[in-house]
Each structure stands twice: as C-alpha cells, then as structure tokens.
Structure 1
Amino acid sequence: MPTAIPAGEPRLSARQIARLVWLRLRTRYLLRRMERASLRASRVGFDRAGGRLLYFADRWLSCHAEAAEILRCEEPPEVAQVRAIFGRRP
C-alpha cells in the first residue's frame, strides 16, 4: 500500500524572516503616519493637506504586497478594501 509522505510548509530563510520583520515594522509606522495624515486632511481639507495620505497609503500597500508574496498567501481584507478604494492591483 503506497503511502504519501506529508509535505510540510516551505520554510522561510533567515533573510526572508528578517525582511518580514522589517515589513511589519514598516507597515505599523506607515499606518500611524496615514492616521496622522488623515486627521490633518480632515482638519485642513484634502486640497490643502497635499498628497501625504496617498503617499503613505501607496507605501503601505506595497509593503503588504511584498509580505504576501514572501508568505505565499492572500492579503488581509483591510488591504483589499484600501486597494479597491485606490483602484490599484498588487
């Protein structure tokens, strides 16, 4: 009777783990910056606030896309919602 050896999940290299840690820190930083930019935009208006919110959101989406590529998984639902708002694809 043939038996299949279960294949485990592919292991990440030390470099990939370090990159994921860096991406996690970067996404947290960018999220805080987006929150501050959003507050400023609501206070002074989007026209006067400049493109800071869009800039940080674009970087935040890039970090999530890279992390999903490394992990070979889907992005979180909130990333899909932001991507839908901006009309961007990964």
Structure 2
Amino acid sequence: MPTALPTSEPRLSPRETARFLWLCLRVRYLRRRMERASLRAARVGFERAGGRFVHFARLWLDCHEEAAALLRCEEPPDVAEVRKMFEGTLRKR
C-alpha cells in the first residue's frame, strides 16, 4: 500500500513555503496598516494623510502578486478588484 497520496499540483520547496508564510504575515500587517491609514485619512482628510493608504495598498498588492506567482494561481477576487480600482494610481517604482 502506498504511503504517499498522488497529487496533481506541484509542491512548494521549503524555501518557497517559508517565503509564502512570510508573505501571508506581511499581507496581514499591511492590511492593518491600510485600515489605520484609512481611519487617519477619514479623520484629517486624504490630502493631509500623505498618501499612506495608497503606499500600503501598493505594497499589499505586490505581496499578493508574489504569493499568486508562488502558488501558480490567480489572485483572489477582492485583490483583483482593488487592483482595478487603483489601476492608474499605483505605479511600480
């Protein structure tokens, strides 16, 4: 009797797994930073907030893009929606 189950999807290497876990932590951190930046922008105004929300959103989208590349799959629908919303605003440096 075989001990390993056959899978059709490729497995991540230990290095890729560590990178993916780091990206998951980074996405959670950036989401909290975006929430705080959004609250600050609502309080003091978007012009005075200094574009922090846009900065964190760009980093958040970059993390999702890298995670999707590691997993060889499409980005989640909510990420694609945010990407469309910020299409002209978020430019790569």
Q: Shared fold by TM > 0.5?
A: yes
Residue 34 of structure 2 aligns with which residue?
34
Q: In the comparison of the two structures, how many residue pairs are matched?
A: 84
Give the 5 Å matches for 1:17-32: 17-32=17-32
Q: CA–CA distance in 1 between the matches of 2:8 and 2:79?
A: 28
In structure 1, the gaps of 5 or more residues are 1-5
Amino acid at match of 2:51: G
Residue 74 of structure 1 aligns with which residue?
74
Matched, 1:55 2:55: yes
Q: CA–CA distance in 2 between the matches of 1:79 and 1:7?
A: 28
Paired residue secondary structure (2:12): coil
Residue 13 of structure 2 aligns with which residue?
13
Amino acid at match of 1:59: L
Larger Rg: 1
Cα displacement (A) at 1:8: 2.0
Q: CA–CA distance in 2 between the matches of 1:32 and 1:16?
A: 24
* TM-score of the pair, normalised by structure 1: 0.88
In structure 2, the gaps of 5 or more residues are 1-5
Question: Hey, which bits of structure 1, 4+ residues long, moved more than 3 A?
Answer: none
Q: Cα RMSD over matched residues? A: 1.6
Residue 3 of structure 2 aligns with which residue?
none
Cα displacement (A) at 1:9: 1.0
Higher helix share: 1
Q: Percent identity?
A: 68
Q: CA–CA distance in 2 between the matches of 1:7 and 1:64?
A: 25
Residue 3 of structure 1 aligns with which residue?
none
